[in-house]
Amino acid sequence: MAKTALITGASSGLGAEYARQLAARGAHLVLVARDKQALDRLAVGLRSTYGVEVEVVVADLLKPRQRERVEARVADEVRPIEILVNNAGFGLPLAFERNDVEDEVRHLQVHVEVPMRLTHAALGPMLARGHGRIVNVASVAAFIPRSTYGACKGWLVSFSRWANGRYGPRGVTVTAVCPGYTHTNFHERLGLAPGEEGVADAMWLDARDVVAESLRDVARGRAVSIPSRRYKALVTLARFAPPSLAARIGERGR
């Protein structure tokens, strides 16, 4: 029986790349996002290219009733989810003091509350079966002070480390994936055209490489995956940097 993966934020960027690479491995898919047209286009391509089953779930995860539908699908024991990829997210300007606090609350919910709820929904059935994979897409910002984005991702890394240690011995692994700057539409959604992000060319990663390397780490049961050697080195350096220097590093780029 083919495994089924549920991916949030699947309509573009890393979510869509996870869908493609998991489909190439023979996994059936449940794609979750707000953009029905984008999901439908992706689903058609995946079905025709890989011959896998693709279910589309249109949902705004910040709306309780819609999120609860996704939680129920994750917890469905009749149609089990073997791989959960918590990828949905968005960014805000770094100037916390100027951001609308309600935007900040929604930002916190989508990066912390939503993956926590979906992980909770997945754990019961996965532990009962004795196997499952949970992937929480975090960021190297978890290790470098970067306004509330880094704080949210830091929570996700800490939670994933604990959960992997707790549930890994029972067959359910939890991996926080921490990419650096990756070519997706993430920055365009912040209103930044390509080239305006303030990021050196050498620091950009390709989404295909990020997903491929992270899936290797997931298969190994690792609690944290930092795709690319350059970002592994940066994270190591950041651990020893004084707080004021680390904050200045975190201000670079958008």
State whether residue 181 is helix, strand or coil.
Answer: coil
CA torsion sign for 162, 165, 170, 176 is: positive
Q: Could you tell me if 17 and 40 are in contact, meaning their C-beta atoms sit under 8 angstroms apart?
A: no
Q: Measuring CA to CA, which residue among 143, 131, 141 is closest to residue 170?
A: 131
Half-sphere exposure of 16 (CA within 13 A, CB side): 18
Residue 189's identity, in one-letter code, is: R
181 carries an active-site annotation: no
Q: Phi first, then psi: give them for residue 225, nearest 5 degrees.
A: -120, 120
Tokens read off for 227 = 């795709």
Q: Which of 18, 19, 25, 21 is nearest to 2 (CA)?
A: 25
Q: What stretches of 147-207 adopt beta strand conformation (E)?
A: 172-177
Active-site residue set:
149
